[in-house]
Amino acid sequence: MARKYCIAIIGLLSFFTTSVTAQEKGYWSFVKNGSFYLSWGYNTEWYTRSTLHVKQPSLGNDYKLVNVRAHDHPGWDEGLFSKAMTIPQYNYRLGYFFNEKQDLAIEINFDHTKYIITDGQQVTVKGNLNGQKINGTREFSEKEGSYYYLNNGANFLLFNLVKKFKLIKPGPANNLKLDLLAKAGVGPVIPHVENSLFGQKNEPGFQIGGWNTGIETAFRLTAFRYAYIEFAQKVDYARYSNLKVYEGRARQAFGTYELILNLGFTIPTGKHNKEFARHIPVTPETKAE
């Protein structure tokens, strides 16, 4: 399944790359026709079940926690303005539309998501635990000395290619427009790993912990040319490896479905940008230019 998903993403990226190559007309076209955009917002997630594979050679452990359930921790639903902006599950987008039609962009896409293995569930454990063969069910809970948090972030970072489709164009007396954005990309995951497995705690910390790939669609409603609100849905597949556990490492892979709401701002890079210039009223001065 993961292989088919990756092949589909690679095909989509190839399509975007071909479109970019066909439309680009050199460096100056890239600069003079461009516009930056930046957005910030919050998200919520649903995760697929996952198998966590743990190796602790010095302890004689090589086992799997099979088909575990996990959930997110939005934070913004507990009082958004009562805490720092970066504590809840947040995200940002930084992008640049570079072609004359302003419908192709490159983007840095970051999601601060939180992944927590659900406390109190019965988990199948297979492999070697404390030097003994095991194939049975155990309770995974804090009261039994087990927890697993990517709670300071599962942290998906993607480098995306973006295609924009215009749905509603602004008329002479209308300052609103609606666009659909399609995005696809790949990048690293930067998790903050904190866990205790059967009473053995790791030393929490951030690390580069693997890679992820994702596709996203977003409706963008722009008002007065520059400010916009964006509602998006995203599917992400992440593979984590060499995650720090006590006296060892762990790996896992899971899929994520996200809902995202962002506020953003667009900054054109020159007066020749057609997307913005056509909204500027024509006066004798501007006509002379």
CATH of residue 125's domain is 2.40.160.20
Q: Find the range with the poorest average confidence among 28-42, 63-77, 120-134, 239-253.
A: 28-42
* pLDDT of the residue at 33: 65
Query: Quick one: tokens of 144?
Result: 């039994």
Cβ atoms 183, 217 nearer than 8 A? yes
* pLDDT of the residue at 7: 54
As a whole-number percent, the residues of the chain with pLDDT over 90 amount to 71
Give how far Cα 104 sits from Cα of 170, 219, 262, Å. 20, 15, 20
- In 141-191, DSSP assigns E strands to 147-150, 156-168, 176-188
Q: Residue ranges of the alpha helices (H) in 26-168?
A: 27-32
Per the structure, how many domains does the chain have? 1
Cα 156 to its chain centre, rounded Å, is 4
d(CA 51, CA 252): 6
Domain that holds residue 250: 2-288
Averaged confidence pLDDT in the chain: 86
Cβ atoms 159, 107 nearer than 8 A? yes
Amino acid in the structure at residue 139: E
Q: How many residues does the chain have?
A: 289
> Average pLDDT for residues 165-169, to the nearest whole number?
92
Q: Grade residue 11 by pLDDT with cuts at 50, 70 and 90.
A: low
Q: Residues 6 or more apart from 213 whose CB is under 8 A from it?
A: 5, 6, 9, 158, 184, 185, 186, 187, 236, 237
Model-level pTM? 0.82
* pLDDT at 81 exceeding the cut of 90: no
Q: Grade residue 30 by pLDDT with cuts at 50, 70 and 90.
A: low
Q: Residue ranges of the alpha helices (H) in the chain?
A: 2-23, 27-32, 274-277, 284-288
Q: Could you give phi then psi for residue 49, rounded to 5 degrees?
A: -65, 155
Cβ atoms 189, 241 nearer than 8 A? no
* pLDDT of the residue at 69: 98
* pLDDT of the residue at 281: 45
* pLDDT of the residue at 280: 45
The most confident of 21-25, 173-177, 195-199, 280-284, by mean pLDDT: 195-199
d(CA 244, CA 107): 30
Q: Could you give phi then psi for residue 249, rounded to 5 degrees?
A: -135, 160
Q: Which of 162, 167, 32, 42 is nearest to 100 (CA)?
A: 32
